[in-house]
Amino acid sequence: MNSTRPDDGLVRVRGVAKHFGRKAAVSDCTFTLPEGSVTALVGPNGAGKSTLLSLVAGLVTPTRGEITVHGTPVRGRMHPDVSFLIQRRPLYDRITVREMMRAGGALNDRWSAERADEVLDLLAGVDRDAKVGALSAGARTQVSIALALGRMPKVLLLDEPLSDLDPLARDETLRIVMTDVAERGTTVLLSSHLLTDLGDVCDHLLLLDEGRVQLTGEVDGILADHRVLVGPVGTALPTEGAVVDVSHTSRQTTVLLRGGPEPEGWQAEHPDLVSLVMRYLRASRARRAPARERSRTGAPHPS
Ligand SMILES: Nc1ncnc2c1ncn2[C@@H]1O[C@H](COP(=O)(O)OP(=O)(O)OP(=O)(O)O)[C@@H](O)[C@H]1O
């Protein structure tokens, strides 16, 4: 019986940190992934996304904190309900797709050849007799996803599944993942820098910066909690809510505001996912930039 209440989330991460020597790759991360949710994991290079995915997968042991899947701790071992597609698809190029699938069956205690086959049959289908090394980047990704889903996971972790793919292959890869979500209610955590591709498929967002969670929750709620304000240069910044990012042209100032009432003197609208994340990323870069850069972009000084 599943002892996890729905509002507990299928995946729970509490106070998790991971240090590599003196470097904190992930610090004090707390979030939940509700069952059946599709979460975009975004953040600048080096934010800790791959480390966080490896922690949830159980491939890396946290320095502090606890991760559970379905109430069972994940610590230093791959959880049976989790599949992880790592960034560099580890496939054997010299064998055929059929042999690769057989290897998948031999290496996993729980394996559905039928499920893996279904994934290979999606879209144009993958030739089982082709050598893995001869496949296109899109077909390689499809084989990797077939191997991941053949394990019948409840949680699918994807690290940059769309990198190196052309727009059609990106779209098709996301369709394969979303088919699994629709048919089996799989919970997905997916890291990517390709924000426009994520907007259509992700209902939750996890934004990391310097190893820390900046935003987490339902996309709709996060967007509703933010406003993009546009006003003439010199308009006083809002005093309520949190100013995330400020940018100027010669005539107008644009502000990303989190929370607070709609301020007077500004034109306000809620951002879309891409503009929200872009403004957080720019604010993050400005925080790390020298003071000279901060004064050029008008970004707020780190508090
Ligand atoms: N095995 C390791 N040993 C030492 N440092 C590491 C190790 N793995 C990651 N790091 C460091 O931890 C930080 C986070 O790295 P990580 O790869 O998780 O970031 P990321 O958000 O996935 O980056 P990218 O978008 O560039 O893939 C970086 O500073 C990285 O250099």
Q: How far is the CA of 199 from the centre of ligand 1 (A)?
A: 25
Round the CA-based radius of gyration of the chain to a whole number and report it.
Answer: 21
**pLDDT confidence band for 76 (50 / 70 / 90):** confident
CA dihedral 162, 168, 169, 172 (to 10 degrees): 100
**pLDDT confidence band for 298 (50 / 70 / 90):** low
**Domain locations in the chain?**
6-220, 225-297
Q: How far is the CA of 78 from the centre of ligand 1 (A)?
A: 20
16, 18, 23, 163: which to mutate for ligand 1, most atoms within 8 A of CB?
23
Helix ranges (DSSP H) in 185-262: 195-199, 219-224
Instruction: Please tell me if the CB atom of residue 18 comes closer than 6 angstroms to any atom of ligand 1.
Output: no
Ligand 1 atom 27, closest CA? 45
Contact 113, 150 (CB under 8 A): yes
pLDDT, residue 297, reads 56
**pLDDT confidence band for 121 (50 / 70 / 90):** confident
68, two tokens: 């559970």
Whether domain 6-220 has CATH 3.40.50.300: the reply is yes
Q: How far is the CA of 285 from the centre of ligand 1 (A)?
A: 17
> Is pLDDT larger for residue 298 or for residue 65?
65
Q: Complex ipTM, two decimals?
A: 0.97
Instruction: Please tell me if the CB atom of residue 42 comes closer than 6 angstroms to any atom of ligand 1.
Output: no
CB-based contacts of 282, cutoff 8 Å, min separation 6:
245, 247, 297, 299
CB-based contacts of 82, cutoff 8 Å, min separation 6:
56, 57, 58, 69, 74, 153, 154, 155, 156, 157
pLDDT, residue 57, reads 92
pLDDT, residue 1, reads 39
pLDDT, residue 6, reads 43
How far is Cα 146 from Cα 141, in angstroms, rounded to an integer?
A: 9
| pTM as predicted | 0.88
- % of the chain surpassing 90 pLDDT: 58
Q: How far is CA 272 from the centre of its chain?
A: 17
Over residues 144-175, the pLDDT tens digits come to: 989 999 999 999 999 998 887 888 888 888 88
Q: Is residue 7 predicted with pLDDT exceeding 50?
A: no
**pLDDT confidence band for 285 (50 / 70 / 90):** confident
Ligand 1 atom 5, closest CA? 20
pLDDT, residue 301, reads 54
How far is Cα 268 from Cα 229, in angstroms, rounded to an integer?
A: 5
| Average pLDDT score over residue span 184-206 | 90
pLDDT, residue 108, reads 87
The residue written with tokens 């004090």 in the block is 28
**pLDDT confidence band for 294 (50 / 70 / 90):** low
The residue written with tokens 């790592």 in the block is 86
pLDDT, residue 303, reads 43
Chain mean pLDDT for the chain: 88
Q: How far is the CA of 126 from the centre of ligand 1 (A)?
A: 33
| Average pLDDT score over residue span 105-132 | 89
| Average pLDDT score over residue span 208-227 | 95
C-alpha closest to that of 31 among 23, 275, 48, 44: 48
Instruction: Please tell me if the CB atom of residue 51 comes closer than 6 angstroms to any atom of ligand 1.
Output: yes
Name the pairing type of β-strands 204-209 and 212-218. Answer: antiparallel
16, 18, 20, 164: which to mutate for ligand 1, most atoms within 8 A of CB?
20
pLDDT, residue 170, reads 85
How far is Cα 179 from Cα 212, in angstroms, rounded to an integer?
A: 31
> Is pLDDT larger for residue 293 or for residue 45?
45
Q: How far is the CA of 17 from the centre of ligand 1 (A)?
A: 13
Closest-lying ligand 1 atom to the alpha carbon of residue 54: 18
Q: Is residue 263 predicted with pLDDT exceeding 60?
A: yes
**pLDDT confidence band for 279 (50 / 70 / 90):** very high
Q: How far is the CA of 296 from the centre of ligand 1 (A)?
A: 29
